[in-house]
Each structure stands twice: as C-alpha cells, then as structure tokens.
C-alpha cells in the first residue's frame, strides 16, 4: 500500500521490518513478498543492482515452493527493470519467463501482453506493438479490468500517434507524461495470502 501510494522510503522501511520479524519463523511467503517489494522500491529509485539482488532472493524462495503467482510478478518486475534501462534483450528474456507462469490465468496473460506491447513500442516495432496491445485490450475488456483497459488504450493511442501522426484526443490518462515515465509505478501489484496476486 505504501509503495502504491508512492511512499517509497516508508515502504522500504516496512518491508525490512517484516523480514526482521519473520527471519526465524516459517513465513516464507511473506519474506518472498517483502523481497519483491524491496525490488520494486529500488527499481523505482533507479538502484538497479539492489533491485536485482532482492528480486533474486524472492525468486529463490518462490522457486523452492513453485509459487507461480509470485514467480510471474517477480519476472514481470525484472522485465520492467531491464525495460527501464533500455536493455531490451534481457527484458524479452524475462517476458518469456513471465509467459511460462501465466498459463491458465487470463488476467496474467493480458498483463504480459501489455508489457510486451510497451517493449515493442519502445523498440519502434509499432505493427507488432499495436497487434499485441489490441489483444491485451480485448482481454481486459472481457474481464472488466477497467484500470488496465484504460492504460492499454492510452498506450494504443501513443502507438497510433507514432504510426499516423498526432491523433486528436480530449484527455490523457497519463497527464501528458511519456509512457516510459509513468510505466514503472503503474504496474505495482498487490499480493494475496496464497502466493497468487491480484491487480490494483
């Protein structure tokens, strides 16, 4: 909640406190989630090395219990981290890992399609980006995922602007900011008690 509210320092402190409290108890799911949150904290601060370190700890815990929900979001965050840095080969590698944990979960599939759309948009692979973005929008619309659909349509508008020149619009879901500026914190997710996750 603190991270979603952009209280990054408070989120960092809270996550470390939870890890300290649980270090000698059998609460590995919460430890995994806290390291993932710390990865998101450091990613939002632009401290990639620290972010990767915490994501790797979270991956180790999640892998040992085969928590597909946690593995999905950890690889999703790593893909975003490398996307933020313009390291698209690494981003694509983690997107493939994300896909492997999205099987049988329609919402997860929509999210990875959306992320793939962002990467292709940044790489100027606009035809592929638009096709994937339309697929993601269709998923979100069918699921009634209004916030995700809103962001996806905004991204599709930016793609159309690159393809065809400026498109008239009366509103901007991103307040006029470049999508690459607002993407990192828009994708923070919350975690359920069973190791799976839900959208905001």
Domains of the chain: 8-198 (1.25.40.10)
- Could you tell me the pLDDT band of residue 18, with boundaries at 50, 70 and 90? confident
| pTM: predicted TM-score of the whole model, two decimal places | 0.75
Q: Which position has the higher pLDDT, 15 or 62? A: 62
Q: What's the pLDDT at 5?
A: 67
Mean pLDDT computed over 92-120: 94
Q: Give backbone dihedrals phi and psi of 197, rounded to 5 degrees, phi first.
A: -140, 160
**Averaged pLDDT score across all residues of the chain:** 80
State yes or no: pLDDT of 173 exceeds 80: no
22 Cβ contact partners less than 8 Å away, ≥ 6 residues apart: 30, 31
| 3-state SS track over 77-121 | HHHHHHHHCCCHHHHHHHHHHHHHCCCCCHHHHHHHHHHHHHHHH
Res 3: pLDDT: 67
Most confident of the ranges 14-18, 99-103, 156-160 = 156-160
Angle at 42 (CA atoms; ends 41, 43), nearest 5 degrees: 90
pLDDT at 104: 86
Instruction: For residue range 100-112, list pLDDT tens digits in order.
Output: 999 889 999 999 9
Using CA atoms in the order 96, 102, 104, 106, what is the torsion angle rounded to 10 degrees?
A: -110
In this structure, are strands 190-191 and 197-198 parallel, antiparallel, or unpaired? antiparallel
- Name the 3-class secondary structure at 168: coil
């Amino acid at each position: 909640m603190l991270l979603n509210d952009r209280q990054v320092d408070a989120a960092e402190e809270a996550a470390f406190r939870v890890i300290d409290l649980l270090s000698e108890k059998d609460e590995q799911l919460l430890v995994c989630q806290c390291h993932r949150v710390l990865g998101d904290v450091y990613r939002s601060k632009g401290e990639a090395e620290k972010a990767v370190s915490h994501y790797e700890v979270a991956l180790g815990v999640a892998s040992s219990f085969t928590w597909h929900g946690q593995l999905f979001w950890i690889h999703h965050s790593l893909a975003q981290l490398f996307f933020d840095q313009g390291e698209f080969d690494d981003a694509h590698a983690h997107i493939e890992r994300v896909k492997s944990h999205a099987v049988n979960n329609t919402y997860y599939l929509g999210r990875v399609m959306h992320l793939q759309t962002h990467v292709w948009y940044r790489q100027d692979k606009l035809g592929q980006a638009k096709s994937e973005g339309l697929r993601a929008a269709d998923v979100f619309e069918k699921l009634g995922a209004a916030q995700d659909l809103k962001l996806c349509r905004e991204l599709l508008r930016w793609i159309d602007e690159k393809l065809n020149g400026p498109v008239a619009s009366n509103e901007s879901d991103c307040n006029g900011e470049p999508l690459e500026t607002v993407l990192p914190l828009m994708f923070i997710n919350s975690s359920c008690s069973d190791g799976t996750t839900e959208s905001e």
